[in-house]
Structures are given as structure tokens and as C-alpha cells.
Amino acid sequence: MYKELAIIAPTASGKTELSISLAHKLNAIILSLDSLSVYKKIDIASAKPTIKERDGIKHFGIDKIAPNQNFDVVDFIQEYKIAKQYAKENNKNLIIVGGTGFYLKSMIDGLSKSPKISENTKQIVEEKLEFLHSTYNMLYKIDEQYMKKISSNDKYRIKKALEIYEQTTLTPTQYFNENKPEPIVEKLKIFQIDTDVTILRDRIFQRTKKMIKNGIINEVIELEHLYTRKPNCMKSIGIKECLDFLDGRLDKKNLEYQISTHTAQLAKRQRTFNKSQFCDIVSDNLKNLEKKILSMV
């Protein structure tokens, strides 16, 4: 019988090792719940598992697109559907694992169906996006409730909001009120690695040292050369600090400190999000959680 489960936890909690061990024991494949591992060539900064670390386990949601391409929750849900189909066709189970709790929350709550955008609307939208600031202000005036959640320079999300408005003549809030979301996944067992804050900080520090030793600076140099600094992923933790180092704003010691500090802050936000957004989670420390999962699925 096909089974699905999810493992969530802050960054550097040990999710990779746990998920791969479980995948072997549960005859499962893995779907990465990580917004950075999806990009090709971002290997060290994303801390994605290497081919060797994957240990023969089939992974989805890793190395899917180039850094200058967009990837959002809709794309993730499509990747989930592909992974699920593969698992069923190959008599496998599915483990969803990572730190991007927003993706998992969206799967549980569901997403509203997006309208089909005509070629004429696409052209109108592209023309208006040439004046991003005024377009944002226009959308903000007609739908403050929706647009206040979007940054004024977030071109991708502004574009999505504008497409809805131009295609349907409804504000995004009106559109989503009329098109209620449908859950993508139901009755999903969610497990969480419970890590002491002090231990987690040490793990983050050690991982950061390893990233620098393994060549994250050279990785960022290559990324900037190939894709410039424009893509949103170039603002990710690990990458943005390396760019500051390359610009002379940080020395090597402060580079390590800044990456570790910002990663710890991210881990705190992830813990807070998971605690507030998910219920009926089974939590335990890394040592005990594997046994608990095996006894429950």
C-alpha cells in the first residue's frame, strides 16, 4: 500500500541523513522540500545532498532549473505530482523532506486555480511591467489587502497579480475569494526533528566552515559570471554574504560569522513557522525520531 510522510525541521537539523536512511528502510523516494536545492549549480550554498550522499535513492525537487528561471509553490506542487506518480508506478513510497514549510502548508491548504492568461493579456502585462513602481502602486490602491504582502520590487509576484487583474478584471483578493483552494494532499503524517538550540547553532557553525572549505566562494563567482546578481536566488543566505566578501565588505572571518548568523536566524524563523502552521506533528530528537517514524508508518 502506497504511503506518504513528511519530515520538517530547521536547516542543519540532520534531515538529509535521516530521510535517506528511512528511504532505504521504507522503500521510498525523496521529494526535496527546499526552495534553493531546486537550482542547478547552487550545490554548496544550498547544502543539497551530493550524488554520493543520496546513496542511490531517487530524489525529486533537486537540480530542476537554472538560477535565472523562476520557481514557486505552483511549480513545487507539480513536482510533487510527478514524484507521486513515479512512486506509484514503481511501487515506492514517498518521503517529503526539507525546511521550506510554506510549500508543505500550501499543499495541505491547497491553491486556487490560476486563470488562463491570453496572449493579449501577456503583452499588456509586459508593457506595464516596464514601469514596475507605478504598476505596483496601481495594484496597491485597488487591492491593498493583497499587495501589502508583496515587496514593491518583487517583479515576479507583481506580474502574477497583474495577470489576474488584467485577465479577469477582478482584484487578486476578489479572484481568490471566488476561487477557493482545494487541498493537494490529505491525511499526511508530519514528523519534526526536535533539536536543542545550542546544538543546532553548533551544527550551523560547523556546516558553514565546511561550505567555505568546500569552495562556496568559487561557486558564487561562477554563478555571478553565468547569471549576474539579478535572479532572486542570488539574494539567498550564503550567496549574498559571499558577494559582500567579493566586494570587499567582509573579510574571511566575518564571512563565516555572517553566514552562520543569518542561517541561525533563518532556522529560528523556520521553527516559528512550523510551530504556528502545523498541528498533529510528531516530534522527537534526531536519535529517536527514526524509530518512531518506522513504528507509525
pLDDT, tens digit, for every residue of 15-64?
A: 999 999 999 999 999 999 999 999 999 999 999 999 999 999 999 999 99
Residue 257 CA to residue 39 CA, distance in Å, equals: 25
Radius of gyration of the chain (CA): 20
Dihedral of alpha carbons 27, 33, 39, 44, sign: negative
Greatest Cα pair distance, the chain, in angstroms, is: 57
Residue 254 CA to residue 259 CA, distance in Å, equals: 8
Give, as one character, the DSSP assignment of residue 1.
-
Beta strands in the chain (DSSP E): 4-8, 28-32, 59-60, 93-98, 189-193, 282-284
Average of per-residue pLDDT across 64-83: 95
> What is the structure's pLDDT at 269?
95
- Is the model's pLDDT at 224 over the cut of 90? yes
> What is the structure's pLDDT at 37?
97
- Is the model's pLDDT at 112 over the cut of 90? no
- Is the model's pLDDT at 171 over the cut of 90? yes
Average of per-residue pLDDT across 110-114: 85
225 pLDDT band, cuts 50/70/90, is very high
* 111 against 55, higher pLDDT: 55
36-52 in b/e form (b: 16+ CB < 10 A) is: bbbbeebbbbbbbbeee
> What is the structure's pLDDT at 182?
86
Q: What is the pTM of this model?
A: 0.84
Residue 45 CA to residue 38 CA, distance in Å, equals: 12
Q: Cell numbers 491525511 label which residue?
A: 187
| Residue 291 CB contacts under 8 Å (≥ 6 apart), including other chains | none
187 pLDDT band, cuts 50/70/90, is confident
Angle at which helices 119-129 and 155-168 cross, to 10°: 130
- Is the model's pLDDT at 113 over the cut of 90? no
